[in-house]
Amino acid sequence: MTAAVLAAGLLIGAVQQAGLPLQDPLNWWLYMLETEDDGSLSTGSLGSVERFIESRSASPIGLGQESPAISLTGTIAGEVLNNSDTFETRTGATVRLFVDILPGLYLDEQLSLWTGSDNNPPDYFSPYHQGLEHGRRLYVDRGYLRWKNDIVSLSFGRIPQRWGPGRFTQLLISDNSPPLDMLTIQFNLWDKLTFTGFTSTIDSDSGTYLTAHRLDISPKENLRIGLSEAILFKAEGLDLAYMNPVIPWYPVQWNERLDDNAFFSFDVSWKPFRGFETYAELLIDDIQYENTGNRPNKLGWTTGLSAYLRPLELGTVIEYTRIDRYVYGQRRPCNFYLHHGEIIGSGLGPDADRVTLSLGTSAAWPVLGELTLDHTRHGEGTVTEGWPDSASTAGTFPSGIVEYTTGAELHLGWYPLDYLEVHGNVGNQWIRNLNHVSGESSSEFSSFLEVIYSW
């Protein structure tokens, strides 16, 4: 499995099918592999780190075997953390069942069970746990059937997704919310075009759905262009117009349907030379091309640079994201861009911007180190304020009393054995105008030590 294949799978939200969870810290190094790869090498200057990622990403059972095969694997995690002088403990375990049913057809399912004194799972354990009950929790992290060959892939079940090239956030489809229950199809044509489409439920009890489709175009080995569209809507039954993945949905929404929540996204990744990549994503929630009421546009955008310096074994990423007020909101509360109360797009949320700088080194392998610095401005706007009649282009960005957050975090990951990893983390956040109260401030120190054993 080449670094290019791994990175391409990550960009279109399918790296989980290779076995590496989206929340795994090694995903940061997958991006470094993509930056380093020139399209012709199966191994890069990361050397042993790359080989380790390949072994961790490989499916438990090789697809295409003539006889059925079953693999049962899992992890056990334990963590002790200090947050604002309060010590907490968290433990958890995952069990993954992988069944190679027929050539090209397999089942992949993962359950997790955890408990925490602060009602949270261990870090890097899984981002999908949204329960509010106190005590132990049992979750279905993912579970799906997939049939695939060199051209077509069909999947049905609960599938994590992440679209777009952003390292720290994705604007249209991210892993900020729990994975969606969906039916998805993917076509790969001539290694130049990849089409992905899915239909999913947001709240099946209320008949709320999300449909999305995406086209990745690679005219050159160092250039990839992504075009995406999504519609979140409420329907009493199946809406086959929106669930048709091969037609544009905006004309359908504009001419044939009610006021549903439609999005467009455009993203690009370009590697002008080996070891350097630049990328960007533009999210269009709403553009006032016939503006008669001084209504604001609803846009979000991300731009970033990634570089890997081979002689120093040093990787770096700088990224900036801005999301206008009212993005992800809508006139009808049932169409807010939320799943289990979490934004399906960027967790940064509307009326905010953030700059992030990250530095990582693999020089001390099997220890990986990463230092992250970020600064966030967040106005008073939220998704749940919707799209009020009072919305206008007047005012500043961010709006109201702005909360400023500056963060610094150092993470060390130690991989002494194939089945054992240790993570240590120290960080601090400095907040001004806490909770949008002028003059209120806070300084929050946190640290943790986590051990993960894979079996």
| DSSP symbols for 53-81 | HHHHHS-SS-TT-SS-EEEEEEEEEEEEE
The pLDDT, as a whole number, for residue 9 is 43
Structural domains in the chain plus CATH codes: 3-454 (2.40.160.130)
What are 290-342's pLDDT values in tens digits?
766 788 889 999 999 999 998 889 999 999 999 999 999 998 898 999 998 89
Tell me the one-letter amino acid at 66: E
Distance CA 165, CA 173 (A): 11
Arithmetic mean of pLDDT, 243-270: 86
What are 12-45's pLDDT values in tens digits?
344 444 457 778 889 899 888 888 876 544 455 5
176, 165, 265, 251: which is closest to 214 by C-alpha? 265
243 burial class (0-12, 13-18, 19+ CB within 10 angstroms)? Answer: middle
Taking residue 108's Cβ as centre, other Cβ atoms within 10 Å add up to: 23
What are 362-375's pLDDT values in tens digits?
999 999 999 999 99
The pLDDT, as a whole number, for residue 191 is 82
What are 224-248's pLDDT values in tens digits?
999 999 999 988 777 788 888 888 8
443 burial class (0-12, 13-18, 19+ CB within 10 angstroms)? Answer: exposed
Arithmetic mean of pLDDT, 177-181: 89
Task: For residue 133, give every residue at least 6 positions away whose Cβ sits within 8 Å of its Cβ, in sequence order, or none.
Answer: none
Does position 133 have pLDDT exceeding 60, yes or no? no
